Chains A and B, each alone.
Chain A
Amino acid sequence: MANQSKIGVFLCECGRRIAPLVDLNQLKEQLEADPLIDYVGVEPFSCLAPGMADIKKAIAANGLDRVVIAGCEARVMLSKFEHELAASGLEAGQVDIVNLRGHVAQVSDQSPEEKAAKGFKLIKAAAAGLEALAPSAHEKVEFTGPAMILGGGIATYSAAQELSRRGIECIAAVATDEWEDEIRMLHEHYPGERHYYDRLEAIMKEVDSSPLVRRITVGELTSLAGRTGEYHVTFSDPLGGPPRVYEVGAVIAALDGQMLNQGSNFGHDGRSVICHTEAEEMLWTLGPPEGQIVFWLNDYEAGHPEYCYLSSRAAWSMARYMRERSPLTKVTMLYNHQMAVPLSAGERAASRKLGITWVPYDGALRPTVQSGFVTYCDPEDHLEHEMPWDKLILSPRRSVGHEATKVAHILGLEHEEGAFLEEHKQRVRPEQVGRDEAYLAGSARYPCDLHEALRQGRRAAIKTAEMVAKAQAGELFAPRMVCVVDQSKCIGCGLCKEICDCGGIEPVEGPGGNIPRHVDPMVCTGGGTCAAACPYHALTIQNNTTSQREARVSTLSKALSPDEVVAFGCAWGGLAAADNAGVKGMAYDPRLYMLRVSCIGQLDPSVLARAFLEGANSLLLIGCPPEDCHHSYGLDHTWSRVNLMKKLLALCGFDRRRIALAHADLNRPEEYIRTVDSFIATMSELGPIERTPENQEKLAGLYATVNSPRVRWVLGATLRRPWEEVYPGNQRNALAFDRDMMGVVSEEFIKARVANLLKEQARPFQLRELAAALHEDEKPLMDSLREMVGEGVIGRMHKDGVAHYVMR
Chain B
Amino acid sequence: MAQTAIDIDIDEIIERYPGKPEYLIFLLQDIQAAFNYISSEALTLVCDHTGVPEAQAYAVATFYNSFSLEPKGENLIHVCLGTACHLKGSGLIAENLMRKLGLDGPGTTEDLKYTVETVNCLGACALAPVALVNGDYQPKVTSPKLMKTVQKLGDE
Direct contact of A and B (CB under 8 A): yes
Closest CB of chain A to B47's CB: distance in Å?
10
B74 close to A348 (CB less than 8 A): yes
Residue in chain B with minimal CB distance to A456: B48
Residues from chain A with Cβ under 8 Å of B71 in the complex: 344-345
Closest CB of chain A to B95's CB: distance in Å?
23
How many residues of B are in contact with the other chain, CB < 8 A? 21
Whether B111 is near chain A, meaning CB under 8 Å from some CB there, is: yes
A346-B6 CB under 8 A given contacts A199-B11, A452-B41: yes
Whether A350 is near chain B, meaning CB under 8 Å from some CB there, is: yes
B2 close to A458 (CB less than 8 A): no
Of A195, A347, A349, A451, the most chain B CB neighbours within 10 A belong to: A349
Residue in chain A with minimal CB distance to B9: A199
**CB contact between B48 and one of A344, A346, A459 (< 8 Å): that residue:** A459
Whether B62 is near chain A, meaning CB under 8 Å from some CB there, is: no
A195 close to B48 (CB less than 8 A): no
Residues from chain A with Cβ under 8 Å of B7 in the complex: 195
Whether B151 is near chain A, meaning CB under 8 Å from some CB there, is: no
Closest CB of chain A to B68's CB: distance in Å?
12
Whether B112 is near chain A, meaning CB under 8 Å from some CB there, is: yes
A350 close to B45 (CB less than 8 A): no
Whether B73 is near chain A, meaning CB under 8 Å from some CB there, is: yes
Residue in chain A with minimal CB distance to B73: A345
A345 close to B112 (CB less than 8 A): yes
| Alpha-carbon separation in the docked complex, A347 to B39 (Å) | 15
| Alpha-carbon separation in the docked complex, A462 to B72 (Å) | 32
Closest CB of chain B to A655's CB: distance in Å?
50
Residues from chain A with Cβ under 8 Å of B111 in the complex: 348
B9 close to A344 (CB less than 8 A): no
| Alpha-carbon separation in the docked complex, A451 to B48 (Å) | 14
Whether A455 is near chain B, meaning CB under 8 Å from some CB there, is: yes
A345 close to B74 (CB less than 8 A): yes
How many residues of A are in contact with the other chain, CB < 8 A? 16
Whether B5 is near chain A, meaning CB under 8 Å from some CB there, is: yes
Whether B65 is near chain A, meaning CB under 8 Å from some CB there, is: no
Q: Mark A448-462 against chain B: 1 for CB-CB distance below 8 A, else 0.
A: 000110010011001
Residue in chain A with minimal CB distance to B71: A344
B45 close to A455 (CB less than 8 A): yes
B72 close to A345 (CB less than 8 A): yes
Q: Mark B1-42 against chain A: 1 for CB-CB distance below 8 A, else 0.
A: 011111101010000000000000000000000011000010
A458-B6 CB under 8 A given contacts A345-B112, A452-B41: no
| Alpha-carbon separation in the docked complex, A345 to B71 (Å) | 8
Residue in chain B with minimal CB distance to A466: B51
A350 close to B48 (CB less than 8 A): no
Closest CB of chain A to B107's CB: distance in Å?
13
Of residues 437 to 457 in A, which have CB atoms within 8 Å of B's CB atoms?
451-452, 455
Closest CB of chain B to A232's CB: distance in Å?
30
Residue in chain B with minimal CB distance to A458: B48
Residues from chain B with Cβ under 8 Å of A347 in the complex: 6
A346-B9 CB under 8 A given contacts A455-B45, A455-B48, A462-B48: no
Of B4, B36, B72, B111, the most chain A CB neighbours within 10 A belong to: B4
Closest CB of chain B to A638's CB: distance in Å?
33
Whether B44 is near chain A, meaning CB under 8 Å from some CB there, is: yes
Residues from chain A with Cβ under 8 Å of B4 in the complex: 345-346, 349-350
Whether B113 is near chain A, meaning CB under 8 Å from some CB there, is: yes
A345-B113 CB under 8 A given contacts A195-B7, A199-B9: yes
**CB contact between A348 and one of B41, B44, B112 (< 8 Å): that residue:** B112
Residues from chain B with Cβ under 8 Å of A195 in the complex: 7
Residues from chain A with Cβ under 8 Å of B3 in the complex: 345-346, 349
Residue in chain B with minimal CB distance to A449: B41
Q: Mark B65-97 against chain A: 1 for CB-CB distance below 8 A, else 0.
A: 000000111100000000000000000000000
| Alpha-carbon separation in the docked complex, A451 to B111 (Å) | 26
Residue in chain A with minimal CB distance to B19: A462
| Alpha-carbon separation in the docked complex, A350 to B71 (Å) | 16
Residue in chain B with minimal CB distance to A203: B11
Closest CB of chain B to A203's CB: distance in Å?
9
Residues from chain A with Cβ under 8 Å of B73 in the complex: 345
A349-B41 CB under 8 A given contacts A199-B11, A462-B48: no
Of A195, A343, A347, A452, the most chain B CB neighbours within 10 A belong to: A347
Of A344, A345, A349, A462, the most chain B CB neighbours within 10 A belong to: A345
| Alpha-carbon separation in the docked complex, A347 to B6 (Å) | 6
| Alpha-carbon separation in the docked complex, A462 to B14 (Å) | 15
Residues from chain B with Cβ under 8 Å of A451 in the complex: 41
Of residues 334 to 369 in A, which have CB atoms within 8 Å of B's CB atoms?
343-350
| Alpha-carbon separation in the docked complex, A347 to B113 (Å) | 11
| Alpha-carbon separation in the docked complex, A346 to B7 (Å) | 10
Residue in chain A with minimal CB distance to B74: A345
Residue in chain B with minimal CB distance to A349: B4
Of residues 99 to 156 in B, which have CB atoms within 8 Å of A's CB atoms?
111-113
A344 close to B112 (CB less than 8 A): yes
Residues from chain A with Cβ under 8 Å of B45 in the complex: 455
Residues from chain B with Cβ under 8 Å of A199 in the complex: 9, 11
Residues from chain B with Cβ under 8 Å of A455 in the complex: 44-45, 48
A346 close to B41 (CB less than 8 A): no
Of residues 712 to 749 in A, which have CB atoms within 8 Å of B's CB atoms?
none
Residues from chain A with Cβ under 8 Å of B72 in the complex: 345
Residues from chain B with Cβ under 8 Å of A350 in the complex: 4, 6
Of A346, A349, A458, the most chain B CB neighbours within 10 A belong to: A346
| Alpha-carbon separation in the docked complex, A459 to B74 (Å) | 33
Closest CB of chain B to A425's CB: distance in Å?
13
Residue in chain B with minimal CB distance to A348: B112
Residue in chain A with minimal CB distance to B2: A349
B11 close to A346 (CB less than 8 A): no
| Alpha-carbon separation in the docked complex, A774 to B36 (Å) | 83
Residues from chain A with Cβ under 8 Å of B112 in the complex: 343-345, 348
B35 close to A344 (CB less than 8 A): yes
A349 close to B48 (CB less than 8 A): no
Residues from chain A with Cβ under 8 Å of B5 in the complex: 346
Residues from chain A with Cβ under 8 Å of B35 in the complex: 344
| Alpha-carbon separation in the docked complex, A548 to B71 (Å) | 57
| Alpha-carbon separation in the docked complex, A459 to B50 (Å) | 11
| Alpha-carbon separation in the docked complex, A399 to B3 (Å) | 37
Residue in chain A with minimal CB distance to B37: A344
Residues from chain A with Cβ under 8 Å of B6 in the complex: 344, 346-347, 350
A sample of 24 cross-chain residue pairs with beta-carbon separation below 8 angstroms, ordered by A number, consists of A195-B7, A199-B9, A344-B6, A344-B112, A345-B3, A345-B36, A345-B71, A345-B74, A345-B112, A346-B4, A346-B6, A346-B74, A348-B74, A348-B111, A348-B112, A348-B113, A349-B74, A350-B4, A350-B6, A452-B41, A455-B45, A458-B48, A459-B48, A462-B48
Extra A-B contacts (14), CB below 8 Å, given A348-B113, A455-B45 = A195-B7, A199-B9, A199-B11, A343-B112, A344-B35, A344-B112, A345-B3, A346-B74, A348-B112, A349-B3, A349-B4, A451-B41, A455-B44, A455-B48
Q: Which residues of A does B touch, CB under 8 Å? A: 195, 199, 343-350, 451-452, 455, 458-459, 462
Q: Which residues of B does A touch, CB under 8 Å? A: 2-7, 9, 11, 35-36, 41, 44-45, 48, 71-74, 111-113
What 7 A-B pairs come out closest when comparing CB atoms? A345-B74, A345-B112, A346-B6, A346-B4, A349-B4, A345-B73, A347-B6
